[in-house]
Amino acid sequence: MIGSLFVTGPAGTGKSTFCGALKEWLITNEYDAAVVNLDPGSEYIPYEAEVDIRETISLSQIMSEYNLGPNGAQIVAADLLLDNLEPVSGVLRELDDYYVIFDTPGQMELFTYRPGAPLLVEKLSGHRSMLAFISDAVLSVSPSGYISQKMLYASVMSRFFRPMIYVLNKADLVTEEDIQRISSWEESPEILSDALMDEKAPMMKDFFISVLKSFKEADLISKIVPVSARDFSGLEDVYSDMSVFFTGGSDTDTMYRDD
Ligand SMILES: Nc1nc2c(ncn2[C@@H]2O[C@H](COP(=O)(O)OP(=O)(O)OP(=O)(O)O)[C@@H](O)[C@H]2O)c(=O)[nH]1
Ligand SMILES: [Mg+2]
């Protein structure tokens, strides 16, 4: 494979829709792309998966075999997957020139925070891997909503230590002014902390100011990429970041290639 993108983020932010949209965008622009579904709990996936973990791992079977609820079963499923990666890696070996997109379980703690997850990323694609953190634009219009998603992003980063793209999905549900305001928060921790103090009483003010400053100083999120997975907007910018990482940016002129 050229590279893999592990798509993570809070429940319902549009991870699966994003995986399907990015695959379609890549194929439309004449790249080879495949999606692997790593969520054994998904009822419906809005894309055709090259590998679907539900074919080898059944949550309902695990629940009855181990007397577990759905969350406990997801944890066992993740461990079973790690023990037997061949059904996935066997297919990946055939996908030489592909971008491979991995859809991950809805509840972040069942994938992102499990000890096996960084190992899984390492085993499946090693240094050829990056992550996309899918945040929800609607939740991001309030300073507190935006900050809470930034903190989740930081927690994902602290698990994987891989390059990450911060996707602001569902951009179609907010206004252009909202997106500009969120971008200005990203550029300046002072503007964001002032907006937070306006929204909430200045409780724990010093805490938030120092958190936001340290995010900025560490360049934790260098930019946000507004996307609508529903309308296919912003996907070229996602690809552009992938291309910079995987090919050194030698292939960013996606729309204008003549080969
Ligand atoms: N308007 C709008 N809706 C979206 C967008 N992306 C996803 N959705 C909707 O958001 C809902 C959740 O989308 P999913 O793709 O299932 O989200 P998910 O993060 O994979 O959900 P879980 O795996 O259950 O955590 C669905 O109703 C999607 O149609 C978007 O860009 N715009
Ligand atoms: Mg999903």
Task: Give the tens place of pLDDT for each residue, 11-34.
Answer: 999 999 999 999 999 999 999 999
Q: What percent of the chain has pLDDT over 70?
A: 96
CA of 232 to the centre of ligand 1 (A): 13
Residue nearest to atom 2 of ligand 1 (CA): 170
Which of 16-25, 54-63, 74-83, 177-186 is modeled with the greatest confidence?
A: 16-25
CA of 26 to the centre of ligand 1 (A): 19
Residue nearest to atom 6 of ligand 1 (CA): 14
Strand partners, 67: none
pLDDT of residue 248: 84
CA separation, residue 108 to residues 118, 137, 212 (Å): 13, 18, 23
Range 207-219 average pLDDT: 83
Range 246-257 average pLDDT: 60
pLDDT of residue 253: 46
**Index of the ligand 1 atom closest to the CA of residue 103:** 20
pLDDT of residue 247: 87
Residue written as tokens 């204008």?
256
Q: Which of 92-101, 150-159, 197-206 has the lowest mean pLDDT?
A: 197-206
CA of 16 to the centre of ligand 1 (A): 7
**Index of the ligand 1 atom closest to the CA of residue 46:** 15
Which ligand approaches the C-alpha of residue 230 most closely?
Answer: 1
**Index of the ligand 1 atom closest to the CA of residue 169:** 31
Range 103-114 average pLDDT: 85
pLDDT of residue 115: 84
Given a cut of 90, whether residue 45 has pLDDT beyond it is yes
* Residues in contact with ligand 1 (CB, 6 Å cut-off): 11-17, 39, 42, 106, 169-170, 172-173, 228-230
Each domain of the chain, given as residue ranges in start order, spans 3-137+161-172+223-256
pLDDT tens digits, residue range 221-239? Answer: 778 999 999 999 999 999 9
Given a cut of 60, whether residue 259 has pLDDT beyond it is no
Q: Which two tokens stand for residue 54?
A: 């539900």
| Residue among 15, 17, 35 whose CB has most ligand 1 atoms within 8 A, to mutate | 17
pLDDT of residue 251: 61
Spatial CA neighbour of 125 closest among 137, 113, 133, 117? 117
CA of 210 to the centre of ligand 1 (A): 33
Spatial CB neighbours of 111, under 8 Å, sequence gap ≥ 6 = 8, 38, 78, 104, 105, 117
Given a cut of 60, whether residue 3 has pLDDT beyond it is yes
CA of 14 to the centre of ligand 2 (A): 7
**Index of the ligand 1 atom closest to the CA of residue 229:** 31
pLDDT of residue 243: 93
Range 34-59 average pLDDT: 93
Q: Which two tokens stand for residue 254?
A: 């996606």
Q: Per DSSP, which regions of the chain are E strands?
A: 3-8, 32-37, 51-52, 98-103, 129-136, 164-169, 224-226
Q: What percent of the chain has pLDDT over 90?
A: 63
Residue nearest to atom 17 of ligand 1 (CA): 14
Spatial CA neighbour of 129 closest among 105, 157, 101? 101
Backbone φ, ψ for residue 205 (5° rounding): -55, -50
How far apart are the C-alpha atoms of 38 and 49, rounded to whole Å?
A: 10
* CATH T-level assignment (fold) for domain 3-137+161-172+223-256: Rossmann fold (3.40.50)
pLDDT tens digits, residue range 173-190? Answer: 999 999 999 998 888 888
CA of 145 to the centre of ligand 1 (A): 18
CA of 35 to the centre of ligand 2 (A): 12
Helix, strand, coil percent content, the chain, rounded in steps of 5? 55, 15, 30
pLDDT of residue 216: 84
Residue nearest to atom 32 of ligand 1 (CA): 170
Q: Are 242 and 130 in contact (CB under 8 A)?
A: yes
Decide: pTM greater than 0.75. yes
